[in-house]
Amino acid sequence: MPPQRPKREARPNRHAAKAGRSRHVPVPDLSEILAGKKAPLLLVLDGVQDPHNLGAILRTADGAGVDAVIAPKDRAVGVTETVRRISVGAADRVPFLAVTNLARTLEELKEAGVWLVGTSDRATKDLYEVDMGGPVAIVMGSEESGMRRLTEEACDFLVRIPMRGKVECLNVSVATGVCLFEAVRQRSGVGSAS
């Protein structure tokens, strides 16, 4: 019988918030986030429930320079210690707004001149066909069922990520990264979509 290896403990995440010492981002009002920003980049999550997905999404949102992440208070995960750990500190940097009425918040965004780009398997346009160079909120649905009907109806554009293989869709955190960094690419002035 070969000698047993000693059990190794997982490395501590040096970026994760330490219990009791995490920096909390002040939760600003939506109007504060939009004030003074010519072309805000927002992310709306309609019912993401897995804390690992939310943590990964917040990490990506921070990397993409998202001004705020908006999610409903009900039927969605909030910022928990698991989310903080998975986000490698981004949960303590990216403003996260948990709103009571997501449909009303989407209307407020539209009134403020923000275009809503929702992701849907039923979309006829590819992600790369929509201009995200101006004020935009990318709307992602839940892991299981995507966006709710009212959320989808509120979107100005519905887009899909073109899939070339046999898999029908991506994990919500991966899909969010694809969408956010397409917006970043367009905003950098490199081959902006029309």
Using a pLDDT cut of 70, give the percent of the chain over it.
83
The mean per-residue pLDDT over the stretch 162-189 comes to 92
pLDDT at 168 over 90: no
The mean per-residue pLDDT over the stretch 5-22 comes to 46
* CATH architecture assignment, domain 40-187: 3-Layer(aba) Sandwich (3.40)
Collapsed DSSP state (helix, strand, coil) of residue 54: helix
The mean per-residue pLDDT over the stretch 81-90 comes to 95
Domain ranges of the chain: 40-187
In angstroms, what is the C-alpha Rg of the chain? 18
CB atoms within 10 A of CB 145: 9
* Strand 125-126, strand 157-160: pairing: parallel
Sheet holding 115-119, edge to edge: 96-99, 68-72, 41-46, 136-141, 115-119, 157-160, 125-126
Q: Residue 49 burial (CB < 10 Å; 0-12/13-18/19+)?
A: middle
pLDDT tens-place string over residues 33-76: 898 889 999 999 999 999 999 999 999 999 999 999 999 999 99
* pTM for the model: 0.84
Q: At what angle do helices 172-187 and 51-64 cross, to 10 degrees?
A: 10
The mean per-residue pLDDT over the stretch 157-166 comes to 92
